[in-house]
Structure 1
Amino acid sequence: MNNVKRLEILERLRSENPNPQTELEWSTPFELLIAVLLSAQATDVSVNKATRKLYPVANTPQSILDLGVDGLKTYIKTIGLFNTKAENVIKTCRMLIDLHDGEIPEDQDALEALPGVGHKTANVVLNTAFGWPTIAVDTHIYRVSNRTKFAMGKTVNDVEKKLLKVVPKEFKLDVHHWLILHGRYTCIARKPRCGSCMIEDLCEFKEKTED
């Protein structure tokens, strides 16, 4: 795909949704971090249902630490992999208190050092909470980028590097939200809804559908 097409795609996505937001519910960087950590292999809807009950009771590293692993599990047991996630959240809260005075570090390496926080999660936090022009590539972005040929790569890291290279600076802050939402609701995995896609004429996916 050439840069003229890419620019037109980005401009259309921006026109449709000029201020895209994560669908996870949060009010502080810590709440966002925990929500993203919990969202691995789970839906945002399921995470929001759990955090709506959890955060009024505990929404700081110390208050979640005070719940303990078993106490935390009672709030997140409806989320996939909740046992492992509970362990990681508690360990992360301890590290935040011990190493960062209970604050979320605005630093890639420090975030990735937290249990259960990988490169993608750190990118989401830096982008959404702190306004960094990072691009967190999940399965939706990987699929959309390759299917449309906007930014092709064999791994999520390859796609991230390509996106960082080809997306102009003015779009970098928002592009991962646009692509996630596009993959979640239009360019879906099994049968993309090409007929209702605003960028269908620019997309280079050969096996387009009429839906």
Structure 2
Amino acid sequence: MNKDKRRQILERLREANPNPTTELEYTSPFELLISVILSAQATDVSVNKATAKLYPVANTPEAIQALGVDGLKSYIKTIGLYNAKAENIIKTCAILLEKHNGEVPENRAALEALPGVGRKTANVVLNTAFDWPTIAVDTHIFRVANRTGFAPGKDVNEVEEKLLRHVPAEFKLDVHHWLILHGRYTCIARKPRCGSCLIEDLCEYKQKTEPEE
């Protein structure tokens, strides 16, 4: 895919959604961090349902740590992998209190040192909470980048590296939200909705689907 086509894709996505953001509901960097940890292999909808009950009760490292692992589990047991996530979140709260004065660090290495936080989670927090031009590659972005030909790669790291190289600076802050939403609602896994796709004519996917009757 050439540079002009990529720019046209980004311009159309921006025009359709000028101020994109995560669908996770949060009011602080800490709430965002916890929600992103919870969202691994789970839907944003399921996370929001759980945190709507959790955050009014506990939305600081001190308060969540005070719940303990079992107390936290009672709020998040509807989310996949909740046992491991509860353990990681309690450990993360302890580290935030011990090393970062209870604040979420605006630092990639410090974020990735937290239990349950990998590169993708760190990228989401840095981008969404702190406005860094990072690009978190999840399954949706990986699929869209490969399927459209925008930034094909054999793994998430290669796709991230290509996106960072090919996306002009003016689009970097928002591109991961546009691509996630595009993958979640239009360029879906089983059968992409090509007929209702605003970038269909620019996409290089060979097996375009017909619009549904």
**What TM-score range do you get, normalising by the shorter chain?**
over 0.9
Match of 2:180 in 1: 180
Match of 2:86 in 1: 86
| Structure 1 residue runs without a partner (length 5+) | none
CA distance in 2, matches of 1:60, 1:210: 49
Match of 2:10 in 1: 10
Deviation at 1:160, TM superposition (A): 0.1
Which letter maps to 1:46? S
Match of 2:157 in 1: 157
CA distance in 1, matches of 2:121, 2:136: 7
Deviation at 1:210, TM superposition (A): 1.1
CA distance in 2, matches of 1:182, 1:192: 10
CA distance in 2, matches of 1:66, 1:191: 45
CA distance in 2, matches of 1:134, 1:210: 34
CA distance in 2, matches of 1:165, 1:210: 33
Match of 1:69 in 2: 69
Q: Note if 1:133 corresponds to 2:127.
A: no
CA distance in 2, matches of 1:126, 1:138: 15
Which letter maps to 1:32? L
TM-score, normalised via structure 2 length = 0.99
Match of 1:104 in 2: 104
Match of 2:45 in 1: 45
Match of 1:208 in 2: 208
TM-score, normalised via structure 1 length = 1.00
CA distance in 2, matches of 1:162, 1:35: 27
CA distance in 2, matches of 1:156, 1:53: 33
CA distance in 1, matches of 2:27, 2:3: 36
Deviations 1:121-176 (A, max 9, x none): 00000000000000000000000000000001000000000000000000000000
Q: Note if 1:31 corresponds to 2:31.
A: yes
CA distance in 1, matches of 2:67, 2:190: 40
CA distance in 2, matches of 1:101, 1:4: 46
Deviations 1:55-88 (A, max 9, x none): 0000000000000000000000000000000000
CA distance in 1, matches of 2:23, 2:140: 14
Percent of counterpart pairs with the same letter? Answer: 78
Deviations 1:68-122 (A, max 9, x none): 0000000000000000000000000000000001000000000000000000000
Deviation at 1:202, TM superposition (A): 0.2
Match of 2:123 in 1: 123
Q: Which runs of 4+ in 1 moved over 3 A?
A: none
| Structure 2 residue runs without a partner (length 5+) | none
CA distance in 1, matches of 2:101, 2:85: 22
SS in 2 for 1:105: coil
